[in-house]
Amino acid sequence: MARAVREVKSVCVYCGSQDGRDPAHASVARAMGDALVDRGMRLVYGGGGIGMMGQIADQVLARGGEVIGVIPESLMRAEVAHAGVTKMHVTTGMHERKALMADLSDAFVAMPGGLGTLEELFETWTWAQLQYHDKPMGLLNVNGYFDGLMQWLKQAVDDGYVRPQHHGMLHVATDPVALLDELIQST
């Protein structure tokens, strides 16, 4: 499918509802917030006020940027819905949340997180593989956090389960600025 040239105005960021143990992860979340604001890009995210989600949202807001949260009603308490976002969409469930986050965004970035983060990244990636969308996708590999995943993905290609062109859809970088630049150039 020919890729339409489009401006990246809104970036959907998937990341942990916890901070993790490596302090570099939280500082990279804030650096990603800076990189978005510096480019005049809007943050679309899961609406949480804690963990990596809270870190990036707080930083974008502190810098005067725009933050759109999308959270299921049932998770508003567990994920401590952020009280200060520019706009919060409250959905009836997880499927509606993910669909709305995707609709509101021009590109996707995954940062360190857990099962929810991976589920969101892989759903978005498989939708691209099926040509449901052609929006660019990136992975921020901070301090080698995703090295094991990268190694498995390479094995999945070598073993004939993932096509190289689908593997190549995911842009990987260690630095937020480099990753956003790659995503912009790929549109």
What does each C-alpha distance from 63 to 44, 58, 95, 126, 133 come to in angstroms?
16, 9, 31, 33, 31
CA angle 58, 61, 67 (to 5 degrees): 95
CB of residue 18 to ligand AMP, shortest distance in Å = 6
CA separation for the pair 180, 7 (Å, rounded): 12
Least distance from C-beta 53 to ligand AMP, angstroms? Answer: 6
Smallest gap from Cβ 169 to ligand AMP, in A, equals 20
Window contacting ligand AMP (CB under 6 A); options: 29-37, 58-66, 110-118, 140-148: 110-118
Joined tokens for residue 5: 């040239």
Residue closest to ligand AMP (Cβ): 116
Q: Which segments of 91-174 does DSSP mark as H helices, in order?
A: 94-103, 115-129, 147-158, 164-167
C-alpha distances (whole Å) from 38 to each of 34, 80, 102, 152 are 6, 27, 22, 34
Site map for ligand AMP, 35-74, x if CB under 6 A? -----------x-x--------------------------
Instruction: Please choose, out of 21-29, 80-88, 117-125, 139-147, the segment that lies near ligand AMP by the rule CB under 6 A.
Output: 117-125
79 binding ligand AMP? (CB under 6 A): yes
117 binds ligand AMP (CB under 6 A): yes
